[in-house]
């Protein structure tokens, strides 16, 4: 059914409820986090219908959740969150994770200032572009055997560090310390292996990027200081995932689950929501392969970090460092324990285009940040602001410890390329002081700032709704894209 404005009940300035009674197959309500202006964009695509469809999943608990950067995706909306009960028939759905498993973001901090870096930004961007392969299908310089790839699937970023691509302290500030338990290389087929084998240390295409940025504003000085951030500091944001490896894993298991749904008598309004019980043979195989893909993604970002550090030192001197502040993922399904209706439950949380945002005290947060809350990294659209947030209590109470993941598209890639804004995007960005390198013209045209929502408006929602708090706003100086 088409969701119209009259189907939404306004709870407050930043929350809108789609009650379960609007469709007989809904097992729970859908809750949308948005301001009135952002709601206008949501009603233009099928994302709210997808949030309603997610509310029909077997074993769902809590609400079907939609973050303010929500937009139409495969099965789940991008920006969709849902938890299921594994021990009570709850399902796992690859559409609730996405094709780019563990697409994520990591933030590196330098000791240099804007004034020191700006004169050499072109040189820096060119060096980064030379050292980090970017674009669809690009291969990197790291050569793996199949046996080594199996170790990457299990050990993630730690394998890269062990091979000299980083420092042991990097792992202490990665979500899951850079490797999630339960990965099963045997659940990964031959095609994902072939696609992933040459792609470690590569950026990819689409919305993936590496940006040299500076800290334009600090909102919470005490938290920023603990994160090691200060005004006018130059930082680097890396946005990439599991490349062709994770994409093929998702593709393979969607086919398997589409056939398996009939065996489990699961009926849903959208085939893209293909799913199976978590404890089924197919469900366990997918989770093992998904975790292997997630670990590949952490290894990939670790390798990119290594090459970025090398490039930075070539331009600014061998004594310069890029300290890893944090690494978060925003396409994953995780077994977690959460309080639901006053009772602690084991749940499988699907976060698709959504970021974990635990508040202070959770044991999953690295020791260095546990008293503050988990760092949350929110990339904006090319040429606009990015944000560092910190997890807040409201997320744990309402969203299984989750917040947004970015600005969210309002224009398809095809529409972006055809729009008048794509014609002179490189020149317009340079006028703003942002220098861009890309493998192709389309790589820039697809990602024009006008193709995305206003990231400041998205952050305003999650901040004021109590899901996460603003710590710092970052502005770009240089961008490399596929």
Catalytic residues: 405
DSSP character at residue 174: B
DSSP string, 341-407: TTEEEEEEEEEES-EE--BTT-TTS-GGGTTTB-EEEE--STTS-EEEEEE-HHHHHHSSSEE--S-
Q: What tokens appear for 377 in the block?
A: 């990294």
Q: What tokens appear for 384 in the block?
A: 């606009």
DSSP character at residue 452: B
DSSP character at residue 77: P
Q: What tokens appear for 94 in the block?
A: 């690859």
**Which is nearest to 55 in space by CA: 33, 34, 25?**
25
Residues 286 and 257 sit within 8 Å (Cβ to Cβ): yes
153: CB partners within 8 A, 6+ apart: 183, 185, 188, 292, 293, 295, 296
Residues 78 and 353 sit within 8 Å (Cβ to Cβ): yes
Residue with tokens 């938290």: 223
Residue with tokens 């594994």: 86
Residues in the chain: 482
Residues 103 and 225 sit within 8 Å (Cβ to Cβ): no
Q: What tokens appear for 398 in the block?
A: 């309402």
Residue with tokens 């749940």: 347
Q: State how beta strands 343-352 and 78-84 pair.
A: antiparallel
Question: Helical H runs in 133-189?
Answer: 146-155, 157-162, 168-171
DSSP string, 8-53: PEEEETTEEEE-GGGSTT-SS-EEEE--HHHHHHHTTSSHHHHHHH
Neighbours of 141 (CB within 10 A): 13
Residues 389 and 357 sit within 8 Å (Cβ to Cβ): yes
Q: What tokens appear for 26 in the block?
A: 């809904």
Residue with tokens 């072109």: 122
Residues 47 and 77 sit within 8 Å (Cβ to Cβ): yes
The Cα 209–Cα 435 span in angstroms is: 13
268: CB partners within 8 A, 6+ apart: 53, 56, 57, 261, 275
């Amino acid at each position: 059914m088409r969701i119209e404005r009259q189907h939404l009940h306004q709870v407050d300035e930043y929350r809108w409820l789609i009650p379960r009674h609007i469709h007989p197959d809904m097992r729970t309500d859908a809750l949308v986090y948005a301001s009135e202006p952002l709601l206008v964009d949501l009603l233009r695509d099928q994302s709210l219908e997808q949030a309603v469809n997610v509310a029909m999943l077997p074993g769902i608990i809590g609400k079907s959740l939609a973050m303010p950067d929500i937009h139409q995706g495969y099965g789940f909306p991008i920006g969709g969150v849902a938890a299921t009960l594994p021990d009570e028939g709850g399902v796992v759905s690859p559409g609730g994770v996405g094709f780019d498993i563990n697409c994520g973001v990591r933030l590196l901090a330098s000791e240099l200032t804007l004034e020191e870096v700006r004169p050499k930004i072109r040189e820096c961007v060119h060096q980064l572009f030379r050292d980090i392969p970017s674009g669809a299908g690009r291969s990197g310089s790291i050569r793996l055997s199949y046996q080594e790839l199996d170790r990457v699937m299990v050990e993630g970023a730690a394998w890269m560090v062990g091979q000299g691509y980083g420092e042991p302290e990097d792992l202490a500030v990665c979500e899951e310390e850079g490797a999630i338990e339960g990965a099963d290389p045997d659940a990964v087929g031959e095609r994902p292996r072939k696609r992933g084998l040459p792609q470690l240390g590569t950026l990819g295409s689409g919305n993936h990027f590496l940006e040299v940025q500076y800290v334009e504003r600090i909102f919470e000085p005490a938290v920023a200081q603990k994160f090691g951030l200060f005004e006018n500091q130059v930082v680097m944001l890396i946005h990439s995932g599991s490349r062709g490896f994770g994409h093929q894993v998702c593709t393979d298991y969607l086919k398997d689950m589409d056939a398996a749904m009939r065996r489990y008598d699961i009926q849903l309004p959208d085939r893209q929501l293909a799913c199976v019980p978590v404890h089924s043979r197919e469900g366990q195989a997918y989770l093992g392969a998904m975790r292997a893909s997630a670990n590949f993604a952490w290894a990939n970002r670790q390798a990119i970090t290594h090459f970025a550090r090398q490039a930075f030192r070539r331009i600014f001197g061998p004594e310069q460092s890029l300290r890893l502040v944090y690494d978060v993922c925003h396409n994953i399904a995780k077994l977690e324990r959460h309080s639901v209706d006053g009772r602690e439950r084991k749940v499988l949380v699907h976060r698709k285009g959504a970021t974990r945002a635990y508040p202070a005290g959770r044991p999953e947060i690295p020791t260095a940040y546990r008293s503050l809350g988990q760092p949350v990294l929110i990339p904006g659209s090319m040429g606009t602001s990015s944000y560092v947030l910190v997890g807040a209590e409201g997320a744990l109470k309402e969203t299984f410890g989750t917040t947004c993941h970015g600005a969210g598209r309002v224009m398809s890639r095809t529409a972006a390329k055809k729009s008048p804004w794509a014609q002179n995007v490189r020149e317009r960005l340079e006028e703003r002081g942002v220098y861009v390198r890309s493998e192709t013209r389309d790589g820039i045209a697809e990602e024009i700032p006008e193709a995305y929502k206003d990231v400041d408006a998205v952050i305003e929602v999650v901040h004021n709704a109590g899901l996460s708090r603003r710590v710092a706003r970052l502005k770009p100086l240089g961008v490399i894209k596929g």
